[in-house]
Amino acid sequence: MPRALPRRLLPALAAGLFAAPHARAAGEAPGAATGALGRILRSGIVRIGVWLEAPPWGSYDHDGTPDGAEVALARLLARDLGVRLRLQRLEVRDRIPALQEDRVDILAALVPVVPATRRHVAFASPHGELSVAVATRRASPVRSLADLAGLRVALPDNTFAAEEARTMLPPDTTQLLLPGLVACIDATAHGRADAAVSYGWLLRDLSLSRPELDIEPRFTVSHAHHALAMRLGEPDLLRFVNTFLYLRGADGTLAEIHERYLRGTPDVGPVFR
């Protein structure tokens, strides 16, 4: 495994080697970072928006401190930049507006890389994948979306999984919005719902950790990569973040974060851009 790049060198890369010469304003010294990156380095603070209702990517630990895979990534990014981190808690529908309105510099909030979001933000190299799946009890005859017609489907409220699935469900499906993934799985396993919408990683984990649970994944609804997001027109910041992701992917740090929170290896690895 390649050696980790010393963290003290990353701010220098941001300010010099990876700064775009054509983007410099008149009077700025050669090699000075511009735009949001320049402001971050001068102020010593990076504002990163997180979604804390999306465990294990974003949530709270037992002491009420923000935690999760995306939060850990945000902390690592701030440390490698050599600045203080200001976490901004965002609701799912406020993520893109917060970025566009300059309330945050970066989103580490499970933002899916899909055409609808690509029009509004600049994405770094994807560092993970979201697979949305439907699970039922083992004896259920459900094998496709069409089989859900007339049935009760539990959806985890305020999640990407629910947003993806609810537009694809048959029109006569009864949609039960429940507070979280575990509640959906529990409702289905105990017969209060006929099927549950969840993430592929959680269903794989449950099959290993709780084999006695009467629940089984049936089919995948959709999948999308997720990535750190920035405002459009910030080439220096985007270049730094992509460099950070590539180097931390190469030295195994991203895999360590993924294993700690998702108990597995990353579905996708950042590439150099």
Q: List b or e across 229-238, with b for residues whose CB sees 16 or more CB atoms inside 10 angstroms.
A: bbbeebbbbb
CB 241 within 8 A of CB 272: no
Phi and psi, residue 207, nearest 5°: -65, -25
pTM: 0.73
Residue 53's pLDDT is: 80
Residue 205's pLDDT is: 72
CB 83 within 8 A of CB 41: yes
CB 261 within 8 A of CB 69: yes
Residue 5's pLDDT is: 52
Tens digit of pLDDT at every position of the chain (273 positions): 344 455 555 555 554 444 444 444 444 554 567 899 999 999 999 999 999 987 788 989 999 999 999 999 999 999 999 999 999 999 888 999 999 999 999 999 989 898 888 999 999 999 988 889 999 999 999 999 999 999 999 999 877 788 889 889 999 999 999 988 889 999 999 999 999 999 887 787 777 778 888 999 999 998 888 999 999 999 999 999 999 999 999 999 999 998 888 766 555 555 555
CB 263 within 8 A of CB 205: yes
Residue 161's pLDDT is: 84
Residue 26's pLDDT is: 46
CB 144 within 8 A of CB 219: yes
- Peptide bond before residue 97 is cis, with ω within 30 degrees of 0: no
Residue 21's pLDDT is: 44
Report the number of secondary-structure helices (H) and strands (E) in the chain.
10, 11
Residue 129's pLDDT is: 85
